[in-house]
Structure formats: C-alpha cells, structure tokens
Amino acid sequence: MLSPSPRVLAVIPPMTQLNTPYPSTAYLTGFLRTRGIDAQQVDLALALVLELFTPAGLARLHEAVLASPEAGRTPQTAWFAAEFDAIAAAAPRVIAFLQGRDPTLAHRINTRAFLPEGARFASLDAYVDEDGGDPLAWAFGALGLQDRARHLATLFLNDLADVLRDAVDARFEFVRYAESLAAAQAHFDPLAEALAAAPNLVDTTLQRLTLAALEQHQPDVVLLSVPFTGSVYAALRIAQTIKAARPDVVCVLGGGYVNTELRELAEPRLFDFVDYVTLDAGERPLLALLEHVGGKRSKTRLVRTFWRDAGQVRYTNFVEPDIPFDDVGTPTWDGLPLDRYLSLLDMLNPMNRLWSD
C-alpha cells in the first residue's frame, strides 16, 4: 500500500520549449508543497535534446547514419557523415554558448569558419549586400554580435535535428514530437501502433532519462503535463517506460491538450499507459486523487477525473469548490536546471536595425 503522503514527480514531456521551463509543473509543484506534499519536477524535453547532442548521443546518431545505405542518404545525413568529427567537436561548445556559459565563442561563430554548415545555412544566402558589405547587418546591426551568433548556432542545431529526422525519426522536431499522431485523430490507433513499435534512438534515450528520474526521485505518483499535441506521444512513452519498470507508480495525464481534446474521452486503451486523466485547473483534482492514492478517499469522490473500470472509461466529478487563486501558492523552479536552457534564435529580426541598434 502506498504511503498516506505519496511522493509526487511532475514531468514536462518532449516537446514543449527549450529556452525556458514550461510553467505548468512549476505551478503544480509549488502548490503541492504548500500542502505539505513531497513534490519534485523534471523537464525531460530539455534533458532529451541535451542528451541527444552530447558526444555519446551524436556518436549513436553517427552509427545510425552509417548503418544506412550511402546511396539512400539525404543531403543532411551525407553532410553529417562527412563532417562528423567537426560536428562532434563543435556541438558541446555550441550548447555551452547557447546556455550562456561561453559568450566569447560568439566571435568565432560569427566568422562562419567555426561551425560546420549544413542545409539550414542556405537561408543566409538570400541576404546579399550589393555593395559587398555585411549581408546580415540589416538584421543585427553593429550591436548584434551575440544575437547573430545565437542565430547561427540555432541553424547548426536545426541541421542536427534534420539529421535526426532523416536518419532516425521522421517525427522529431524541437518544439513538437510526433504531433501528427495526436493531431486531428479520430482514433487512438496511430498512437497505439507507434507506442507498440520497436523504440528508435530518440525513444531509447527518453527511456533512459525516464528511468534515471525514477531512480533519483522514487515517486509514488507521476504527473504528466501535456500542453500540446506535440507532447502526447512522448508523454505516453514515458508512462509506458514507468509502467514497465515500476507498475505500482500511479501515472496521471493532464494539461492543455487534455482540457481541449479529451473532454469526451471514451478510449479505454489510453489507460494501458496512464491510470487517471484530470481536466481543467489541476489543484483540486490532484488533491482528491492524492487522497485516494493515500487511502483516504474513494474513486467515487474524485474530481474531474477519468479512469478505467472493467474495460470501460468512467468519469467522476464529485462537486467540490476549486482552490481560490489566493491559495494556490507560488510557482517554484526548484529542481529545474535554469542554467541549462538554450537561448535559441530561429528567426531574423523582421523590424530591421531599428530594434537591433
């Protein structure tokens, strides 16, 4: 039997955003701590990207590229194979630069001689100064040294994401992962088939990170916050990994995607992966659910919660007032590696030098 005060781990699944923590787990963790609950949080979206671009992660990607027939390689995978040594040497420094740990690298990046350049850099060819001057001056101006380097470094990482997509997983993107599996789908079949398939390099990396988080935090309950369709597949992969390793851990699905797309949930197979699905503001449903997990409340008194019973989806909404705003507490970033987020710059400044100088 679980402890009367279960330990909770709130998880940000891939993909959300890489420049700053997605705030949902910070709010829930902060609130639960005000109620004396042992709550921790982890950002597996950031952890996944950082792990894929470590020397070990890039070496695994290199093996996957070399395992493919040379004649069938895309321009991006061919570039990666040819430039691998330079890419592997540059990647850790680029990550450190985007994390703000090596700002002086901007000078070398801006020379255009430091980074191996794949297809993403072709977009820069559109900006040619007819007078032979700096072709990117319009975007960054004289004071845009760091922003210019951030943009070039982001192009480099986007090149690597293209290689991952071409060689390993066509569904991979930095801001969404396998979005098409959950977007506008009338049936659960595409997700079920993808989750039943053999895991690829991205999946196995996420599995290792999930198991490491389980080992570190030893939770009784895992909260999977899913704000977007591009987070659903990874959230269920995480839950699948948890259930295989620790079937006693209670997995709960919630977040913006759930609130908008699963209000009429009737698919029992979803509960092969998670135990409960909660709707709307999470504070009251979670308190009720944690009381149930601790043996203090029956399932008939859960709040805005879906669950499975004898193969059928049930919805329980015991009427209780929501937590007043003044009582939800303060969000906490404790447990999130604020110094490891990536200050990416995908788009050039559309407002010209007015905003750069």
Q: Return the DSSP state at 172.
A: B
Rounded (10°) CA dihedral 40, 195, 170, 232: -40
- At residue 258, φ and ψ (nearest 5 deg) are -60, -45
Digitized pLDDT (tens) for each residue of the chain, 357 residues in all:
445 679 999 999 998 889 999 999 999 999 999 999 999 999 999 999 999 999 999 999 999 999 988 888 999 999 999 999 999 999 999 999 999 999 999 999 999 999 999 999 987 876 555 555 555 665 555 447 888 899 999 999 999 999 999 999 988 887 655 555 655 456 789 999 999 999 999 999 999 999 999 999 999 999 999 998 889 999 999 999 999 999 999 999 999 999 999 999 999 999 999 999 999 877 899 999 999 999 999 999 999 999 999 999 999 999 888 887 777 788 999 999 999 999 998 765 544 444 444
Cβ neighbours of residue 247 closer than 8 Å, sequence gap 6 or more: none
- For 336, the token pair is 């999130």
What's the one-letter identity of residue 194? A
Other C-beta atoms within 10 Å of 38: how many? 16
Alpha-carbon span 329 to 39, nearest angstrom: 14
H or E stretch including 79?
helix 75-82
- SS3 assignment, position 169: coil
Alpha-carbon span 193 to 291, nearest angstrom: 34
Residues linked to residue 172 through DSSP beta bridges, in sequence order: 177
Length of the chain: 357
CATH numbers and ranges of domains, the chain: 8-45+180-333 (3.40.50.280), 50-174+341-355 (no CATH)
Reported pTM: 0.90
- For 30, the token pair is 């902060």
